Structure 1
């Protein structure tokens, strides 16, 4: 089943967040805290895992854009619980472990298939692109590993809970 965040919504959400000043970003973060506190917590915990404050701006931007896209989608999103986050993280890490054992060309095919069939493929593509733009796809350190898992798990959680149409 296809998700609800369209390519146009993703592009507009990214443009909107990039155009925000610090006060507007804080206001959006306050909205996230009120509506999806577990998503915010999953990013704000990253400094405890070695992510420096400058690098933390990358997953924070991803969260702000994802939340803005959720709002622009015209859908109502259920609260993402810690249980949903844990279940999605377990699936994500299992997929990563499976891919690690494959020859490179097969692993690439598996990643491509995962992206093509993903319920929220435009959000996933945005996250991969944004991480790549900031040289965070190589996973050279534990901090980068936790950052990548947090960003990708955000996508998995949104795909998992889906959204309902607003009336």
Structure 2
């Protein structure tokens, strides 16, 4: 997308999902660089475009729903850390298989892994990861 297309998409995203858009904008206050914010914003654009492609309309995703989904994701990761490798792999597969948009979740996860391998990590990176995974999960979870 060129800058005008991104600007139009950002305007649309702000109109229909201001909380998800705000999740990225607030990253700067948490010490996240503009380059890293751009990465998070691009992933949000991809998730938003994927939603539009389905023809479905998301209900307004609230901050409370985002917090709930973030807590679920963090709990799933922490749960897996305490298991033996075989059990951890099985738990991760159950988590992935339960996701209604597995290809999109796989894409976001792979992009995050590639991004983490290519940057000089700092403390603010956890915010980028946390704001992107739950947004994808929230958007495609049926708001359960």
Task: Give the TM-score of the pair, scaled to structure 2.
Answer: 0.88
Deviation at 1:137, TM superposition (A): 9.5
* SS in structure 1 at match of 2:61: coil
Which residue, 25, 38, 52 being the options, matches 1:44?
Answer: 25
1:22 to partner: Cα distance: 0.8
Residue pair 1:80, 1:161 contacting (<8 A) in 2 also = no
User: 5+ residue gaps in structure 1?
Assistant: 1-19, 163-167
8 Å CA contact 1:47–1:53 kept in 2: the answer is: yes
Q: In 1, distance between residues paired with 2:48 and 2:81? A: 31
Q: Secondary structure at the match of 2:116?
A: coil
Tell me the C-alpha RMSD between the 2 structures.
2.0
Name whichever structure is richer in helix by fraction.
2
The 5 Å alignment of 1:13-28 reads: 20-28=1-9
Ranges in structure 2 where 5+ consecutive residues have no aligned partner? none
Deviation for aligned residue 1:143? 1.4
TM-score (norm 1): 0.77
2:98 matched residue in structure 1: 117
Moved over 4 A (4+): none
CA apart distance, 1:108: 2.8
* Residues in 1 aligned to 2:87 and 2:57: alpha-carbon distance in whole angstroms: 37
Q: Which residue of 2 aligns with 1:10?
A: none
Matched residue of 1:157: which SS? helix
Alignment-derived partner of residue 142 in structure 2:
161
CA distance in 2, matches of 1:105, 1:48: 39
Within 5 Å, which residues of 2 pair with 1:1-167? 20-135=1-116, 140-161=121-142
How big is the shift at 1:116? Answer: 2.2
8 Å contact 1:85–1:153 — kept in the other structure?
yes
